[in-house]
Amino acid sequence: MNLADLNKVALAMVTPGKGILAADESSGTIKKRFDAIKVESTEESRRDYREMLFRSSEAMSKYVSGVILYDETIWQNAKDGTPLVKLIEQSGAIPGIKVDEGTQALPQCPGELVTVGLDKLAERLKKYYERGARFAKWRAVIDIGSGIPTMTAISVNAHALARYAALCQAAQIVPIVEPEVLMDGDHDIDRCYDVTQRVLNKTFQELRIQRVELEGMVLKPNMAISGKKCAKRASVDEVAEKTVRLLKACVPAAVPGIAFLSGGQSDEEATAHLDAMNRIGGLPWKLTFSYGRALQAAPQKAWSGKAENIAAGQRAFTHRAQMNALASKGEWETGLEKKVA
């Protein structure tokens, strides 16, 4: 393992004014997104959609530092035969790969899940590296509800995240460590804060036990935020203040950067929260975005599966990427949202 090279890639992933495009939706997830815009989800339509994003030259070169790919996508070629990985590299962004294989029910823990995919991961990482991937992603899912999360769920998922991260670094691939506390429930922001604190503390304990080099990773956490069904919504400033306080309490300064997931927030909500955090300033790590739906909902709708709408889809993608890039520097304003072409 060459830590200097891992650190160089990790720092590039959190370059100020750039963020990570999460284009790693599973076939099932992208089918739901395509169903919403009345597009049949086929290998070709998925390829065409992602090619549209990767050929958005302004967005990719100016505002995107890296792209997380799904296994299907990393092996696909564009319509003209160019590997999609090469399109990403040519834009100056770094190709990455989602390596977890989804979740399974956690034994003895009703309503809780564990992420799987560690078997044969070392072999898969070698192939992904040869294809051009220089970072990877593994997502753990922690739900909040009556009696959950249990310490069992937090522990097994943190352990798996750390094992994945160690395997990645051994393969000269930067791990994105993603322990996601879901915002699906009716819990308030303080409950989210408490659970996320437990999750992050356990995750970093496991990372240390398994000798993961913190300088060669990127953290992808949720924000401290009210559950979707909570009657009392926390304000933008409260989300920013509590999330920053939480991160300062849990995340070592050695970590190069934190790239937030959007976790079901609306486009502008995710942007506003990121901007407010960066305005607080004085942080030991870079704060940026690793958004999927919050970057893609607008371009998907504008594109709607039609070749004649590619330019409109690319404009919508560029706008969302630019808004979040500004937020990653604390320079976003609501008024800028109205200026989309």
Tell me the catalytic residues.
178, 220
176: phi then psi, degrees, rounded to nearest 5? -90, 120
Cα separation, 252 vs 199, in Å, equals 14
Find out whether the peptide bond into 149 is cis, omega within 30 degrees of 0. Answer: yes
62: phi then psi, degrees, rounded to nearest 5? -95, -35
Nearest 10 degrees: Cα torsion 243, 247, 250, 255: 150
Cα separation, 301 vs 39, in Å, equals 10
Cβ partners under 8 Å of residue 195, min gap 6: 142, 144, 149, 181, 187
| Contact (CB, 8 A) for 191 and 145 | no
